[in-house]
Structure 1
């Protein structure tokens, strides 16, 4: 989608980061509302940015963990269409979660829960691995070239050129 020439374009990179971050949080919001929203009376930003909500000691915590992991799987699909290069998957995945870390620090302080770190490191690894696999698969696809049409067109052009020379 945003892929262009192999020139360093900071506005393109910034727009890809912003677009990927927005799509990730929209997807996380969808999964949080489906999974966690059914168990709590009021869904708030605490479930997105507070490290204490990602806990393995409650069903709601497990559902929040599942929402984060499902969002990173969807994020790999976003990287496939927005970034389109396997070499850049790790960069954009890590950038997304570093920005998420900064937002979490501003919202609730430094994440001191081991579960938060395990979930987020697993999410970045999952997003990177899946997006690289998808991008490599797309890059290695054969380019379809219709043989019959091109050979007829080539013969026609060759004959036209011979007629022109006579």
Structure 2
């Protein structure tokens, strides 16, 4: 069953909401290859999902760092645990285990809870500066900071 984006998942930070919606798109892309039992297509979606999620996490963490969000380290720890879970599912899939149904359920549940609990907690602090930070296009701007966080992983 496809995950549906609902308004209660909106953080009010447009760039973050668009990134979350893209993650939902990746989650939903698992359905078609799963019905066809297309192992390679599932692998590609999992790889794309992992790559995009890592870049989203790096972006989110850089915003938190930029504003001095006091819970940035615990938030990053939650991200790191999620990546370990996703990697575990990827390895199980690579080993031939049928994980898509279980993975889809985990992703839908995790993302919903993460947005509503962990992400909504930083909105007041990060939201006020997110527009300013994301519009910063000069050398050393948000993209450079996000890539530094990404490289630290």
Give the TM-score taking structure 1 as reference length: 0.28
* Greater fraction of residues in helix: 2
Q: Which has the higher contact order (CA 8 A, sep 6+)?
A: 2
The structure that has the greater radius of gyration is: 1
